[in-house]
A and B are shown apart, each in its own frame.
Chain A
């Protein structure tokens, strides 16, 4: 059973566009929601994270929107660049429980 559902599976945007990746969860015990960026052949790197008491968090060009009542959260990448082309994973954690989404392959076309 997939604890964290992520969509879309892949996404192609033009440079400067704003790709949006969505995740949903069911377990209300989750208390930390990180996003990871992974380049081919590399391990995931923490991009940005949010806790459920906050509805939005922005770090540079990356923004997380969090809707606690809907149990959904999303990643927005402002002014996307070709260098942002990577696979993005959302995750949800509670204590020692950690669950990744299925990943979104993002391609930013110059």
Chain B
């Protein structure tokens, strides 16, 4: 089946530095990828929708300058948390679909635990 690889699985960084998280579709081309943030014991919160070759669409309240998303190829999307602060510590998850329509089902990455100290 479809596999989405997310890397790194865990990262600890110092406050003020930037962190890049990669999301790769391993056996299919993902025209659309999604980035979520999940707080402990909470549901997934959609941050942005990333379309290959175009600018990402951010959800209301998500700072696009802080959470930079790049979808440069059909198999790779990256999320860069810039000038990270402790409040950015969270679990970040990507998902991808080859059709860009949820009805076909989306595959989720294994998530990245970001801790900003």
Q: Which residues of A contact B (CB under 8 A)?
A: 31-32, 34, 36, 41-46, 49, 51, 89, 93-98, 100-103, 105
Contacts and interface: CB of A to CB of B under 8 A. Distances in A.
A44 B32 contact: no
List 6 A-B pairs, minimum CB-CB distance, nearest first: A93-B102, A43-B108, A32-B103, A43-B111, A98-B102, A43-B110
Contact of A49 (B32, B100, B105, B109): B105
Nearest to A95: B101
Which of A32, A44, A89, A103 gathers the greatest number of chain B CB atoms within 10 Å?
Answer: A44
13 contacts: A32-B102, A41-B91, A42-B111, A43-B95, A43-B108, A43-B111, A45-B108, A93-B102, A96-B101, A96-B102, A100-B43, A103-B41, A105-B41
B107 interface: yes
A98 B108 contact: no
B103 A31 contact: yes
Given A102-B43, A103-B43, A43 B105 contact: no
Given A31-B103, A96-B100, A43 B6 contact: yes
A36 B107 CA distance: 10
B93 interface: yes
Interface in B21-55: 32, 34, 41-44, 46, 49
